Amino acid sequence: MEYIKDPDFQLEDTAVALGKFEGLHRGHQLLFEEIKKQKAEGLKSVVFTFDMPPRSALSGDQSYQQIYTKEERRLLLEEMQIDILIEHPFTKEFAAQTPEEFVRDILVGRAGAKKVVVGKDFRFGKKRSGDVGLLKELAPKYGYELIVIEKLQMEHKDVSSTRVRAHLEKGEMEEAARLLGRPYAVIGEVVHGKALGRTIQIPTANQKADKNKLMPPNGVYISRIYISGEEGCHYGITNVGVKPTVEEHAAKDVETNIVDFDGDIYGKTIKVELLHYRRPEMQFASLDELRARIEIDVAAAVQYAEEHPAF
């Protein structure tokens, strides 16, 4: 997948999906499937989004946490076989463009859009003054076809990133996965920890939690793990939090024990899908007690894998 983050680009003959695409949930996936269909007409599939949440860019507040980081979003869109991802810088100058300027100069002028795919409630341009009606009105003038996708509903409610966030914040991983169309995941490099897991014969893979990633509550999760460059998956247990038994005042991180695996994966990218919230993070009186509890959790992960086929 081609990845564009510089505003000075030039494309031709594309089908472009427009949106913030925070969660890449089932509703968003309808737009992605539509632009991929246009390959039959010789058009490249393009996802056009922003390098940061518009609310953060306009307010200067960098504390907003997203379901997926930019790097995770890029990797997931690559898995979905999108041809090109554009993460356009969301500057105040960009936000000040009129809707027609955006269509003329960027959507058609730079992105080369022949087909434009949006959700029914899409807004764009200065003070969000552009809408689907304006996109339809401008289509003949600028030579593109507009395709509008209706809101996807589940349980008589719109599928949205807001709904996904609400489930994640409660640790309701199965409910979040149903809306996402896949389990929520943490994707990132395996880094060196303090190797305390090896002292109790339970080695772990450590990932640092990005400060701008929305994480579920601290606790222990049954997880499924994909290692970059390797086929198949593994199951395990993942601790999200600060490991109170072995460290004081530690930064929040993600630590995964992969069942029946002891390979060297330092420096590799892994995708850790959090399938099920098992228990809160706990402090134990000794490392022996911690190890005994982890062994119980591992047995539960094995049972969960047997009872729940791959999503």
The CATH label, of 3.40.50.620, 3.40.50.2300, 3.30.56.10, 3.20.20.10, for the domain at 2-158 is 3.40.50.620
Helix H or strand E segment including 16? strand 14-18
Question: For residue 237, what are its two tokens?
Answer: 């247990």
In this prediction, residue 273 has a pLDDT band, given cuts at 50, 70 and 90, of very high
Tens of pLDDT, residue by residue over 43-72, are 999 999 999 887 776 666 777 899 999 999
Give CATH 3.40.50.620 domain extents, the chain.
2-158
Q: What percent of the chain has pLDDT over 70?
A: 92
Instruction: Please give the Cα distance from 66 to 213 (Å, whole number).
Output: 5
Q: Is the pTM of this model over 0.75?
A: yes
Tens of pLDDT, residue by residue over 130-187, are 999 999 999 999 999 999 999 999 999 999 999 999 999 999 999 999 999 999 999 9
Own/partner long-range contacts of 301-308 (Cβ < 8 Å, ≥24 apart): 301/222, 301/223, 301/235, 301/236, 301/237, 301/259, 302/235, 302/259, 304/222, 304/235, 304/275, 304/276, 305/224, 305/235, 308/275
Q: What is the pLDDT of residue 286?
A: 80
Q: What is the pLDDT of residue 226?
A: 96
Scanning the chain, the segments in alpha helix (DSSP H) are 26-37, 54-59, 70-79, 92-95, 99-101, 132-142, 161-169, 173-180, 196-199, 287-307
Specify whether the CB–CB gap between 281 and 218 falls below 8 A: yes
**81 has a pLDDT exceeding 90:** yes
* Per-position DSSP letters for 240-273, written without gaps between them: EE--TTT-SSPPPEEEEEETT-----TT-EEEEE
Tens of pLDDT, residue by residue over 101-133, are 999 999 999 999 999 999 999 999 999 999 999
Q: What is the pLDDT of residue 249?
A: 43
Q: What is the pLDDT of residue 108?
A: 98
Specify whether the CB–CB gap between 211 and 219 falls below 8 A: no
Rg (CA), the chain: 22
93-115 as b/e: b if 16+ CB within 10 A: ebbebebebbbeebbbebbbbbb
**Quick one: which of 287, 298, 189 has its CA closest to 238?**
298
Tens of pLDDT, residue by residue over 31-40, are 999 999 999 9
Specify whether the CB–CB gap between 167 and 179 falls below 8 A: yes
Question: For residue 232, what are its two tokens?
Answer: 């198949």
Instruction: Please give the Cα distance from 141 to 91 (Å, whole number).
Output: 27
Which residue(s) pair with 191 in the sheet?
Answer: 206
In this prediction, residue 195 has a pLDDT band, given cuts at 50, 70 and 90, of low
Q: What is the pLDDT of residue 4?
A: 98
Instruction: Please give the Cα distance from 95 to 126 (Å, whole number).
Output: 6
Give CATH 2.40.30.30 domain extents, the chain.
184-307
CATH architecture of 184-307: Beta Barrel (2.40)
In this prediction, residue 194 has a pLDDT band, given cuts at 50, 70 and 90, of low
Pairwise pLDDT comparison (93 vs 196), residue with the higher score: 93
